[in-house]
Amino acid sequence: MAARTSTPPSAGPPRAPSQAEWDALTPEQRAAVVESLPARMTDAELRPPEGDAHLDAKVGARDVLRAFFAKAGRRVYVASELAVYYPAEPRFAPDLLAVTDVEVRDRTRWVVSAEGKGLDLVMEVHVSGDARKDLEDYVVRYARLGIQEYFIYDRGRSRLTGHRLPASGVRKYEPLLAFGGRLASSVLGLDLVIEEGRLRFYQGNAQLLESRELVERLERMISESEAKADARARELEESGLRERELEKQLASLKIELERLRRGGA
């Protein structure tokens, strides 16, 4: 059987085969299909660029989560704007995605049939314009695809909303309720909150810091340690000077005592 996708090139952007088609392929044919699926999205599929506010939000979140899970030793794959192929579905590239309990490695695309698992979490970042796609269309689509959690970070309005599939298995999202201003993600095991206009992640009371913030904190700690070391060195130097002065005074007193014992001559 020749390797193929379920949608011919003339019918629009390529799609992954249906699950039935995938199951009928040999391992070699499956590998060929995966390689044939483009990693690059077309301009028509992507939303218009929204500048630094949009880019910084999604890349910042991706980097924070990657660093956290790597340090924690958890097998959570986190990516941004990666082409995602569900069986026989139009492809998409979310601003942020996370998949738990999978190999963490570099990828150019996520093909659900090949990976053996769909996405566990998606986040879309909105800055300006019509948010209907994020707030309405994707809420329906991502639930239908079985994505457990979906968050929308509206940076323009400094607003965060979240959705989760119910335990019943019904593929219709239920809104997440905020506690103390935070939304809890069961997928990430973290809380999400907007503070001072920025998206933040918390593990309990501990805030996850961005790389830039970690560098600044380390630089500050080094500077403070150097200042303490300098202060201690000055104290020791001053202590040494005082000790030598006391030794001189003691020597002078001994000489005076000896003189007095000899009769004050």
What does the pLDDT look like over 84-120, one tens digit per residue?
Answer: 999 999 999 999 999 999 999 999 999 999 999 999 9
pTM higher than 0.85, yes or no? no
Q: Are 165 and 143 in contact (CB under 8 A)?
A: yes
DSSP state of 87: B
Residue with tokens 């630089």, as numbered in its chain: 219
Task: Return the CATH number of 9-208, one of 3.90.1570.10, 3.20.20.210, 3.30.70.990, 3.30.390.30.
Answer: 3.90.1570.10
**54-83 pLDDT tens trace:** 888 888 999 999 999 999 999 999 999 999
The full set of domain ranges for the chain reads 9-208, 209-265
Residue 216: pLDDT over 60: no
- Determine how β-strand 183-185 pairs with β-strand 174-175: unpaired
Residue 197 or residue 102, greater confidence:
102
Mean pLDDT of the chain: 86
Query: Of the candidates 51, 16, 56, which has an alpha carbon nearest to the alpha carbon of residue 36?
Result: 16
User: What pLDDT shows up at residue 5?
Assistant: 46
Q: Which residues pair with residue 109 across a beta bridge?
A: 83
Residue 247: pLDDT over 80: yes
Q: Which residues pair with residue 164 across a beta bridge?
A: 149, 174
Residue 247 or residue 122, greater confidence:
122
Q: What is the 3-state secondary structure (H, E, C) of 165-199?
A: CCCCCCCCCEECCCECCEEEECCCCEEEEEECCEE
Query: Of the candidates 158, 129, 127, 124, which has an alpha carbon nearest to the alpha carbon of residue 141?
Result: 124
pLDDT category at 138 given cuts 50, 70, 90 is: very high
User: What pLDDT shows up at residue 225?
Assistant: 63
Residue with tokens 């329906």, as numbered in its chain: 140
SS3 109: strand
**17-41 pLDDT tens trace:** 999 999 999 999 999 999 999 998 8
